[in-house]
A and B are shown apart, each in its own frame.
Chain A
Amino acid sequence: MHRFLIPLALAVAVVIGAAAVTLRTGGPPADLVWTAGPELKTLDPARITLLTDARVAEALFEGLVVQDPRDLAVRPGVAERWEVSPDGLTYTFHLREDARWSDGRPVTADDFAWAWRRVLDPKTAAEYVYMLYPIRGAKTYYEAARQALGSAPSAKADWSAVGVRVEGPRRLVVELERPTAYFLDLVAFSTYLPVRRDNVESSGDRWTMTPRLISNGAYRLAEWRFRSRMIWEKNPFYWNAGSVALGRIEVRVFADDKTPLLAYETGAVDLTTVVPALAIQPLLEARDAGRRTDVVYAPNFGTYFYRFNCADPVLLDVRVRRALALAMDRRAIIERAARGGQVPATTFVPPGLPGYASPPGLEENVAEARRLLAEAGHPGGAGLEDLSILVNSGFVHKPIAELVQQQWSEALGITVRIEEVETTSFFDKVRKGEYRIARGGWYGDYLDPNTFLDCFVTGGGNNQTGWSSAEYDALVNRAAGLADPAERMRVLARAR
């Protein structure tokens, strides 16, 4: 065990007892033990919203295409190849002949079409249904079906108008509303995974539980003890089984975020994707000093931010918003409050996207912040006494807000109040615009700037700031319909 972790490990061990991490399990030993997250909620691809659930689903199921973790490029999955029409509107997927479900039955185009139709059925309650909206008629179909269930029982949802066409067991044709440069990235997403109709219909809501679950990926589900552990076994019918090295994988679920680290350090698990925030900086320092070679660390496609209520009489003035942004010391926020080895962000779209160059962003500039406030009629922070930051309880939202409070006080002479509420109430208040400044976080759903920039179109469900710009809307809308990647990036660069 590494020396710096001993105090943490001991503290945790006292609380939970060492037995918790040396849990004995039945069956043959696993080739790999992985600690996932605190909970696995669902394996139903249509209903998955959590990263951990998506990771599990993508081990058990395989989509038409997959995203390679080495370079995030889209590679063949069940589809051995595909063609895109010159106008970018039609994708023709050719399914491989040897793709099989875990019971040996062939994977067919019908399996995908039925799974996608199920996502678009409001009764499925697929939170990520919008991921299918680029498909022609998909949104119309979903909305008609929803109306038929509620306010307009006579509404008809016409599946034949949706751009999903099965042309034989191994040929699936998808037509889009308009060219969507990142459509294949969407197809690699868990919402697009296939499911077996007979499996779902015969087992109801419990179809994902062992031994019922039939899957088509590299692994099949051998055991699932809810909130405890999961066992995967190599799927002998998987078309690429010859390249799968590990025969049996155990997934451990721990309720807290400290036990996985202890389990890893004591050798009970081989891979942990759950590491407490306070342990991250010491682990990175140990890696940088050459004391650890087992740390895999990367920035994510996600941004922590503060949103301004642009309908607020004071925050309506862009000079005030800009002054507050320029008076933030992001590095101090990371080192003294967030403390998880994060990277300062000066733009909403995170850097690192292939083919996308980040612009210079909002760097700290206190002198300019003071000048802007004075110009806006608030010299020395006058008239800004009632500002408040809304945060939800948990994580480190409040310590971050306290540091921002201190920074704005020292730099601009203003005192802001912090309002901490429980999570449900927080999201409700943000949605209703009942805040002045509120914390936010956004992870991109697919590898394209649009997944961030689309948040702030006028009236968008994730905007929640009241901000509106016809010019911005027009640029995001125009970029969405462009097939040429370079031209898209040029247009999005004007919006970002």
Chain B
Amino acid sequence: MILLREVPVVPMYVYTNLTLVRPGLEGVYPNLMNRIDFALLRWAGRGSEAGAAPGPR
């Protein structure tokens, strides 16, 4: 608890991220690191040329 005791810095707020995702687009998840894996994105109910098969990840 040294940093909190000594206060060389004053934390004020945690940054946040807001993303707008067209309804039906799946695969965008809220996470601390702002990660988006475009390989995971897909449209609900729409197939794909690859058949949208779940991958091994």
Contact = CB atoms under 8 A, between A and B. Distances in A.
Interface of A: 31-32, 51, 55, 58-59, 66-72, 75-76, 217-219, 232, 234, 240-247, 249, 261, 264, 270-273, 275, 280, 283-284, 293-308, 310, 318, 321-322, 324-325, 328, 330, 333-334, 338, 340-348, 350-353, 359, 361-362, 400, 440-441, 443-444, 447, 453, 456, 463, 465, 467, 469, 471-472, 475, 493-496
A263 to B, nearest CB: 10
Contacts of A465: 8-9
A344 B12 CA distance: 6
20 contacts: A55-B38, A232-B38, A242-B50, A243-B39, A243-B54, A245-B52, A264-B22, A272-B19, A295-B21, A297-B30, A301-B33, A305-B9, A306-B9, A308-B10, A310-B8, A321-B7, A328-B10, A333-B13, A467-B6, A472-B6
- Going nearest first, the 8 A-B pairs with the smallest beta carbon separation are A243-B55, A298-B30, A245-B42, A467-B8, A218-B39, A69-B35, A245-B48, A302-B15
Contact of B21 (A76, A296, A400): A296
A299 B38 contact: no
A291 to B, nearest CB: 13
Interface in B18-55: 18-23, 25, 28-43, 48-55
B32 to A, nearest CB: 4
Of B1, B7, B22, chain A has the most CB atoms within 10 Å of the CB of: B7
B28 to A, nearest CB: 5
Interface band, chain B = 35 or more
B5 to A, nearest CB: 8
A342 to B, nearest CB: 4
A303 B19 contact: no
Main secondary structure of the interface of A (DSSP, over half): mixed
A186 B26 CA distance: 27
Contact of A495 (B3, B10, B13, B37): B3
B22 A270 contact: yes
Given A283-B18, A296-B19, A362-B4, A343 B13 contact: yes
A247 B48 contact: yes
Given A75-B57, A472-B2, A298 B21 contact: no
